[in-house]
Amino acid sequence: MRTHRIAVAATLVVAFTAACSRSSDPGNKSTAGESSSKPAPKTLTYWASNQGTSLDNDKQILEPELKKFEQQTGIAIHLEVVPWSDLLNRILAATASGQGPDVLNIGNTWSASLQSTGAFLPFDDATMEKIGGKDRFMAAPLAATGAEGKPPTAVPLYSMAYGLYYNKKLFQQAGIANPPATWDELVADGKKLTANGKYGLAIEGGNVSENVHHAFALAKQHGADFFDASGKPTFDSPGAVAAIKQYVDFIAQDKIAAPGNAEYAANQSVTDFASGKAAMLMWQVAGVKLTTHGMSPDDIGVAPIPIQAGASGSKATATMVAGINIAVFKNTKNLDGALQFVKFMTSKEESIALNKTYGSISPLKEAQDDPAFNTPELKTISGVLATRAAPLPQVPNESQFETLVGTAVKNLLAAAAAGKPTTTESVKAELVKAQQQMPAS
Amino acid sequence: MKPRYRLLPYLLLLPALVMELLIHIVPMAVGIIMSFKQLTQFFIRDWTAAPWTALNNYRIAVDFSAPIGQSLLNSFWVTCSFTLFAVAFSWLLGVAAAIFMQEPFWGRGVLRAVFLVPYALPVYAAVITWSFMFQRDTGLLNHVLHDQLHLVAEKPFWLIGDNSFIALVVVSVWKTWPFAFLTVMAGLQNVPRELYEAAAMDGATVWQQIREITMPALRPVNQVLVLVLFLWTFNDFNTPYILFGKSAPEAADLISIHIYQSSFVTWNFGSGSAMSVLLLLFLLVVTGIYLVVTARWRDADA
């Protein structure tokens, strides 16, 4: 009796898992030819990332544009705005189940990681032609769309880069005429500006991604990369150690950033800068955010992120390439419609309109002259993006790198804020630990 | 019995069995299978194609001389001590409040309702409020400790560094003790009032009454309560995640967050599954031992 029962249960499990694995078999077998013989569905699902001040704000901005697309093509877009905290998990779930949207936004730093899942349509030259060719895009944003030598896994949609935001009024009061161009100048200015409870610089020390973005650009300036040519992690190279020490020293040694910054993870540094508690901030296109926090546009100055004195070439890297890419899910039942939609979203007119609204920069070459991007802020940002930006490592393990190195910097900042000494050895030890946790591949 | 009737019970059970399989057993089995695979982002699209790695994921997880194993072990100890403190304080508070509330007095109903508020609040809203209070420069806690009471010379950090452990325990106790309170309060309804009256007649102090009447009467309730509190607290994900985000400080690196980080954040689902299976085994062993031991106690009493 008992064995009988177990046998029944076991059979059920086997039957069920077999059925599962069969139905979840990814759509390799259903080729594009097969799916196009059926009439393509007249709707597409689009997952948009949260670019506006709220999810509703995004809906209000995007829906009129999507209506235009429907009028042009007859394809209705079902829009879902996904908050950043959920987006990656949702994409992973969609990838694992094969049930996802047709078109979606991804953070461009995830490009190579997501590319390695094989869940997205590669934009090879033929596919690129269908959306107007890859020559329309600026080089830097296009470099952040997947591993080198492979067809891009997505195309650039909104572009951003880091700039040094400074409070003109506070600079004037401190008798500083120009924004700093080198780190020595930044530290010197920062010390002048640090007084009476105000600080020279605000940093977002509890935010793992912010930490890793700054660590990356600074490492480039020290001639270091976090991965070697073969894709092996090199987190603890002398250049990387020096770069991260320099960043941590803003709190530890230079004392131009408030110790409290070490726990900031909810954009408090933006608030501090907007309210005049700090005189400088390194941020991606912060203009719109700062004015919504009530900062007068006249007080906001923007300069490129400083470099070491006399640096050139890749040592003059001022920023990582930040931005959002648009990708097509391979399992889409309406490939042509999805590509039409990507073409629409990256058309000159839409690109200008949407980037202008969001305060970001269009990744299209032909859009750069548009007056929308000719404000002093965006001119500076698009200038560094065009000439002095490098994409984060386009390796499949990028996501682990961000987590581990970003956390290492967070720990170092926390130690510095608690008054523990920051030395080359302590930085190196933390980075060695991070590197050892990288999966052997 | 005719064969027809022998089949009927099974047919009746079948829907429940299928649901049980679907909801509990299959995902668990899938998780266990995953733990033997090298399931990284290269294979999540078709995870049946992921290569088998035998015990490799487990070997890495329990290799305590290497950083991955070391940090898992650290996380395990942090979780154990966190659970110990959080359960002890929650239980103590819950029992004390329930006993205090046993005697009717003016405003008892209101107070009971107020005590249950933390339990009724949405976790996210409650914990995010705590995280605001724990902020170093603008938080309420440091304002009271430093600015008003002058207890500390310098404002301490609560969300990073070693103090984050204290912060975590405080929020967890705040969130969990109303459940202990509720459960013990229900348990106390079964204690006959006459016992107390008789004890009082015999000159027993309040303390003696609690020790000799209340506690023994509560034993079956406590047995379940402590077990449930232990399992909930040990596995708590929401509190540390909302308080610290994806990367918790080392002093507050609870095992649930740690496993989340080693699977979702770093896209290594095989390794995450292996750690989850180890955790499951540990909890099974602890629960088993606990049940056997407490059953012995009860038998010994009887």
Q: For A78-97, give the DSSP string.
A: EEEEE-HHHHHHHHHHHHHH
- Give the largest CA-CA distance in chain A: 91
Inspect the interface and report whether the beta carbons of A8 and B135 lie closer than 8 Å. Answer: no
Nearest to B45 among A118, A260, A411 (CB): A118
Distance between CA atoms of A233 and B95, rounded to whole angstroms?
53
Residue by residue, pLDDT tens for chain B (302 residues) are: 555 678 888 888 899 989 888 888 888 898 898 889 888 877 877 777 788 888 888 988 888 888 888 889 999 999 999 999 999 999 999 999 998 888 888 888 898 889 888 888 898 999 999 999 999 988 999 999 998 998 888 889 999 989 999 999 999 999 999 999 999 999 998 888 888 888 888 888 888 888 888 888 898 899 999 999 999 999 999 999 999 887 888 899 999 999 888 777 777 888 889 999 999 999 999 999 999 998 887 777 65
Distance between A366 CA and the closest CA of chain B, angstroms:
36
Is residue A146 within 8 A of residue A120, CB to CB? The reply is no
Query: Which pTM does this prediction carry?
Result: 0.85
pLDDT digits (tens, 9 = 90+) for A342-359: 999 999 999 999 999 998
Distance between B278 CA and the closest CA of chain A, angstroms:
19
How is chain B split among helix, strand and coil, in percent rounded to 5?
75, 0, 25
In one-letter notation, the amino acid at residue B294 is T
Q: Which residues pair with A105 in a beta bridge?
A: A326
Which residues have a Cβ under 8 Å from the Cβ of B110 and sit 6 or more positions away?
A: none
Inspect the interface and report whether the beta carbons of A262 and B26 lie closer than 8 Å. Answer: no
Inspect the interface and report whether the beta carbons of B48 and A21 lie closer than 8 Å. Answer: yes
Of the residues A1, A111, A263, A410, the best mutation for testing chain B's interface (the one with the most B CB atoms within 10 Å of its CB) is A263
Regions of chain A short of the pLDDT cut 50? 1-37
Distance between B36 CA and the closest CA of chain A, angstroms:
16
Q: Alpha carbon of A391 to those of A30, A224, A438, B90: distances in Å? A: 35, 14, 20, 49
Which residues have a Cβ under 8 Å from the Cβ of A409 and sit 6 or more positions away?
A: A205, A208, A211, A212, A214, A215, A244, A247, A248
The Cα angle at residue A168 between residues A167 and A171, in degrees rounded to 5: 90
Nearest to A414 among B30, B161, B268 (CB): B161
Is residue A62 within 8 A of residue A48, CB to CB? The reply is yes
Q: Is B48 on the interface with A (CB under 8 A)?
A: yes
B276: Cα within 13 Å, side-chain hemisphere: 23
Say whether the ipTM exceeds 0.90. no
Q: Which residues pair with A43 in a beta bridge?
A: A76
Inspect the interface and report whether the beta carbons of B67 and A436 lie closer than 8 Å. Answer: yes
The Cα angle at residue A127 between residues A341 and A157, in degrees rounded to 5: 45
Question: Is residue B183 within a helix (H) or strand (E), and if so which, with residue range?
Answer: helix B164-188
What is the reported pLDDT for A428? 96
B255: Cα within 13 Å, side-chain hemisphere: 29
Helix B26-34 / helix A2-23 crossing angle, nearest 10 deg: 70
Q: Is B157 on the interface with A (CB under 8 A)?
A: yes
Distance between CA atoms of B19 and B39, rounded to whole angstroms?
27
